[in-house]
Structure formats: structure tokens, C-alpha cells
Structure 1
Amino acid sequence: MVGQHLSTQRHERKVTGLEESKLRHRLRDIAAEHIRWGRRMAYRLLRREGWAANHKRVQWLWREEGLQRPTPRTGKRAQATDGSVRRHRPEHPR
């Protein structure tokens, strides 16, 4: 092993335990049930349910599972199709 750079040496990956696989499954369930939630809300729910996982672990598992919330929509106003800038006025009272 002489002559090899230290950055080429890597630790072997740990075997995932039963508890971690349960946590991954629960995260997938939360993401499917609450579509608009992100990892922070999922973490809070997990803590309320009694899971002993810190926020960094939840963030790492969330990214590993490829979970993400949908991108927020931009709130643009509807434009008139004829290109006019004038606003529509009510034609009659409510």
C-alpha cells in the first residue's frame, strides 16, 4: 500500500439496519400522505411519533430516498389577452 494517496482510501459502508429501513419507509409514507410537506415537517412529525432521529439524519435519508416537495408556484396575475393594461371594472353590484 505504499505510494497510495490517503484520499483514495474509503471506509466501507455500514449495513443498513432494520430500524433505518423502517425510518426510510415511514419517511416515504409521510411524503406520500403530505405532498406539500418538506423534510422539516416530516422531522417534526417523526419526533412527535417518538422516533429517535436527529434532523441531520432525516435530511440525509430524505435526500437518499430522492424525496422532494413540489416547487412553489409563482403568484402571477392573469393578464388580459388583448394586451391592454386596464383592469376590468364590475358591471353591476353584488
Structure 2
Amino acid sequence: MVRRVVGQHRSSQRHGGKVLNIEEARLRLRLREIAAVHIRWGLRMAYRLLRREGWTVNYKRVQRLWREEGLERPTPRKRKRAWPADGSAWRHRAEHPHHVWAMDFQFDATAAGSSS
């Protein structure tokens, strides 16, 4: 009957638009708040916090919403080696041959074959 009136196939009339779920909108808002307050946290910690707050959400659902919102944990910073400011801890530099040695073996064995 719809086809005769409108001139469209009935399969085009079955798709009802995407209904925005109010609970999902609240969950998305809460995820954005968590990501803004706890910058170093990722998806797992956000999920744990939601569960502690009483949200009954599936991990996969939180993961999907986290990805759709474009939230991500910042990449870890590479730490520089700490050196004292006064320069007191200088590495030993060789002043002559055989002055500075380094132990660089994992295990050793005697000529007889027994390990030491």
C-alpha cells in the first residue's frame, strides 16, 4: 500500500532513524569527564571507575564508546637518564689501556668444563 501512495519500495520504509539513547549520552559525557580529569588514565581505568560508581556497563560497550569519542591515553614519555646538576657523577673514562673494565658475561666455565 505504501508503494502505491509514495512510489517507493517498502524496504526503504523500514529503517527507523538512529534513536539517541539518553543513558548512552550520559555515559559518553561521563567518559569524556573521566578522560579530562584523569589524563593519564586509559580505557581500563575508566571502565573500573564506571563500575565502582554503579554503572552496569559491558567492557565492550565502554570500549566502543571510548573509540567513537576519540579518546585515547597519551603516549608514555621517554625518560631521560638522571644526572646530577653539579656534574659530580661522571662516568669513568679510560686514562690508559686496561684502566676501565666492564663485566659483560652471563656465565663462565673453566677449562675442565665446570661452571664457576
- Shorter-chain TM-score bucket reads 0.5 to 0.7
- Residues 7-58 of structure 1 show CA distances to partners (whole Å, capped at 9, x for unaligned) of xxxx877422000000000000000000000010000000000111111000
Q: RMSD of the alignment, in Å?
A: 2.2
Instruction: Say how many residue pairs are matched.
Output: 72
Distance 1:65 1:13, change over 3 A: farther
Post-superposition Cα deviations, 1:44-81, rounded to whole Å, max 9, x if no partner, equal 000000111111000000000000111001223269xx
- 1 or 2 for the larger relative contact order (CA 8 Å, sep ≥6)? 1
| TM-score of the aligned structures, taking structure 1 as reference length | 0.67
- Does residue 15 (structure 1) correspond to residue 14 (structure 2)? The answer is no
Q: 2-side partners of 1:15 and 1:64: how far apart? A: 16
Identity percentage over the alignment? 71
Moved over 2 A (4+): 11-14, 75-79
Task: Normalising by structure 2, report the TM-score.
Answer: 0.55
Whichever of the two has the greater Rg, that structure is 2
Structure 1: where are the runs of 5+ without partners?
Answer: 1-10, 80-86, 90-94
Unaligned runs of 5+ in 2: 1-14, 84-88, 92-116
